[in-house]
Amino acid sequence: MQAREFMKFKNWAVAGDVMNEQKYAHKIVNALKSNGFQVEGIHPKEAHESVHNSILDIEHKIDVLDLCINPKSGINIVKEANKKGIDKILVQPGAESNEILDFCRDNNITAIQGCVLVELRNL
C-alpha cells in the first residue's frame, strides 16, 4: 500500500500541534477539510472544543491517523489508535521512529511514511 491509497478514506485524525497556524499539523487539518475530508485534531497537551487530548475521545470511526508529532509522543498515540482499531497510519517526515514502525508492524497496522499535503496535490 502507498500513501496515495490512504486518500480514498474520508475519516481522519491528525495528531500534532493542530492549533498553531505555523505548524504542519494545522495546515494538514485545514487542507484535508478543504478537500472534503472529515478531520479531528489531536494534541496530547492542549484540549480545545475542536481538539482532543486522545484519539480515544473521538466517538466516531477514524479510518486513518496522520502522525505529525514528535515520535516520543507519537508512540502513545499509535498505541491508543491500536486500541481503537485504527489500522492505517500515515507518518509525516520527522514523526517516524523505529519504535513506532516496529509497533505498527507487530500489531498489523499499515504504517506508511509520506506527506498528506503532497498526496492532496496529486488527487
CATH number at residue 96: 3.40.50.720
Q: Are 9 and 63 in contact (CB under 8 A)?
A: yes
Q: Tell me the pLDDT tens digit for each residue of 17-53.
A: 998 899 999 999 999 999 999 999 998 777 676 788 8
User: In this predicted structure, what is the pLDDT of residue 71?
Assistant: 94
Distance CA(67)–CA(64), nearest Å, equals 10
Q: Which residues contact 75 (CB under 8 A, 6 or more apart)?
A: 97, 99, 100, 103
User: In this predicted structure, what is the pLDDT of residue 98?
Assistant: 96
Q: What distance lies between CA 85 and its chain's CA centroid?
A: 14
Per-residue pLDDT at 58 exceeds 70: yes
User: In this predicted structure, what is the pLDDT of residue 75?
Assistant: 96
User: In this predicted structure, what is the pLDDT of residue 52?
Assistant: 86
User: In this predicted structure, what is the pLDDT of residue 3?
Assistant: 85
Domain span holding position 16 = 3-121
Q: Tell me the pLDDT tens digit for each residue of 61-99.
A: 999 999 999 999 999 999 999 999 999 999 999 999 999
> What is the number of domains present in the chain?
1
User: In this predicted structure, what is the pLDDT of residue 47?
Assistant: 65
**Residue 35 or 3, more confident:** 35
